[in-house]
Amino acid sequence: MNNMYFTEEHESFRESFKSFLQKEVVPHINKWEKDGAVERFIWKKFGEMGYFGLNQPEEHGGLGLDLFYTVIFLEELQKVNSGGFAAAMWAHAYLAMTHLNKEGDARIKKDYLTPSINGDKIGCLCISEPFGGSDVAGMRTTAVKKDDTYVINGSKTFITNGIYSDYLVVAAKTNPQEKHKGMSIFIVDRDTPGISATKLDKLGWRASDTAEIAFDNVVIPAQNLMGEEGKGFPYIMQHFALERLIMAINAHARAEYAVDYVLQYMSERQAFGKTLDKFQALRHKVAEMASKVDMCREYNYSITKRLNDGVYVVKEASMSKMLSTKMADEVIYDALQLLGGYGYMEEYPLARLLRDSRLGPIGGGTSEILKEIIAKMIIDKKEYKPVT
């Protein structure tokens, strides 16, 4: 492993987390993939081990560790070969909980962040809408102030943990006449009257309970506003850098898993009297695949280092998310091909891996949107700055 970024403590954590996943997660993966849901007990086990609080403040029950522990967390989650399970874990820890920590007040951190770190509460982040997709500023969900409450109406879609979460971090328009400046962020309890969720049937990420969520006159206390009213859009944007880096790290990790699997397979599979790893055409294909993975992985590590040092890496994370997810799709496609007919069989891991990987260029900002964001920064000299 790269000692430029990882210490002995990091590697010790990697080995212990690997062992935990093999013992507590891998035996259940096929069931969760079939059922389309992750059983509740595993959330508590993750919480007990501190895995949800790696980077969270110690005063709220977290461990206060650097971001390379998160890199290890993400990489090893990809190695269990269930993009849906991995997404359920990191969407809770790094999408919902990030807003709780950054915008939540003391009450919200006590009532939601600490139980989330402990694995007692599961969260989801509700931004995308049926008619909006990547157009965050064009969202139609509203939150109307009424006395000491807000009344939320609208719908969200493609929400990871959207069925079984205990609370929802919801973006809504508090001033529909404004676009970017009219949005706010709220914490909403799942059992609040007026909330309904419909599970979505997906190509991949089968273990994840992705949902469309409707809000019909959902009344919440005004104190459930997170941060300042009207600051929702910049809050969301400043966290996209982390989300896109997460998607990029996931991509290089699953591509690395595919290469490792192919290397093992080729060393054992025989054809025409010799193992597949002796055929030049196949050897050269694997060399190309491994080179692509290494290039993206090293770039992602360098971005992580800068983010850990306090640099706002929205351009770099957007670039890497765009390139790494494309790379993963290409590498996994080629890996499946190298297995021949067996690659197409569900009993081998690459069929699921191919399906799960395809979400990479779509979720967390489509590659098409990212290209325009990058173009604005390098051509139009647009600067994106964090709010806090």
Q: Looking at this protein, which amino acid is placed at residue 45?
A: K
Burial of 278 (0-12, 13-18, 19+ CB in 10 A): middle
CA pair distance 50, 242, nearest whole angstrom: 20
Q: Mark whether 383 is an active-site residue.
A: no
Q: Looking at this protein, which amino acid is placed at residue 217?
A: N
Helix (H) or strand (E) run with residue 367 in it: helix 367-378
Triad 243, 252, 362: Cα angle to 5°:
50
CA pair distance 227, 386, nearest whole angstrom: 14
Burial of 207 (0-12, 13-18, 19+ CB in 10 A): buried
The structure tokens 């306090």 sit at 310
| Collapsed DSSP state (helix, strand, coil) of residue 121 | coil
φ and ψ of 235, to 5 deg: -60, -45
108: nearest Cα among 119, 92, 121:
121
CA pair distance 108, 113, nearest whole angstrom: 7
* Rg of the chain, C-alpha, whole Å: 21
Pairing of strands 123-126, 167-173: parallel
CB 123 within 8 A of CB 56: no
CA pair distance 83, 180, nearest whole angstrom: 32
Query: Length of the chain in residues, anyone?
Result: 388
Please state, in angstroms and as integers, the Cα–Cα distance from residue 173 to each residue in 38, 96, 115, 153, following that order: 32, 19, 28, 10
φ and ψ of 121, to 5 deg: -130, 145
Q: Which two tokens stand for residue 1?
A: 């492993």
CA pair distance 351, 84, nearest whole angstrom: 14
CB 40 within 8 A of CB 164: yes
Which member of 33, 75, 243, 256 is catalytic? 243
Cite the active site residues: 243
